[in-house]
């Protein structure tokens, strides 16, 4: 990030993952993490719940921590076209994020059909193989240079057009 900033190509946003197991309820560290996350939020860091709807993610995180983004799990996004139950859960998660006033990001977006579904459901952000594969630092640097010379990163709304 420092290198990209020095080159004048730093992205507006960068994600850093923290293990969900650090936020398990009942942990003696719950109050410590809540305070730490609040201090980070005050510095301008946006907190996201990753893989929402699976694993360690919990609805209580939405009330206990200063969350600004909800990332819907790839497993749920994968089924939105063929499985009505997955589609219902994803629509509910998008509505929940909207009512809480937080951004919603769909993970694992691989098809334009998924994009159309997500946009119709009200989700404006996505990540996945449809947009690109995981990148090395070198390839990301090249993309950041291209972006600096062109246009902003795509949102789902633009991708659906």
Catalytic residues: 107
Tokens of 50: 């990753």
Residue of 140, 68, 72, 150 lying closest to 105 (CA atoms): 72
- Identify the three-state secondary structure at position 47: strand
**What span, in angstroms and rounded, lies between the C-alpha atoms of 51 and 57?**
7
**Residue 49 forms beta bridges with which residues?**
70
Handedness of CA 76, 80, 82, 85 (dihedral sign): positive
Helix, coil or strand: residue 76 = helix
């Amino acid at each position: 990030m420092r290198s990209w900033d020095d080159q004048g190509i730093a992205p507006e946003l960068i994600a850093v993952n923290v293990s969900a197991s650090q936020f398990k309820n009942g942990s003696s560290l719950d109050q410590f993490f809540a305070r730490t996350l609040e201090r980070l939020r005050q510095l301008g860091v946006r907190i996201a719940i990753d893989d929402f709807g699976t694993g360690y993610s919990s609805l209580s995180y939405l009330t206990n921590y200063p969350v600004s983004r909800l990332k819907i799990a790839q497993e749920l996004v994968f089924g939105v076209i063929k499985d009505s139950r997955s589609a219902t859960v994803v629509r509910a998660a998008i509505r929940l994020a909207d009512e809480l006033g937080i951004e919603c990001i769909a993970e694992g977006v691989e098809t334009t059909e998924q994009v159309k579904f997500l946009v119709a459901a009200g989700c404006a952000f996505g990540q996945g193989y449809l947009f690109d594969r995981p990148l090395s630092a070198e390839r990301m640097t090249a993309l950041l240079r291209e972006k600096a010379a062109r246009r902003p990163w795509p949102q789902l709304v633009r991708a659906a057009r």
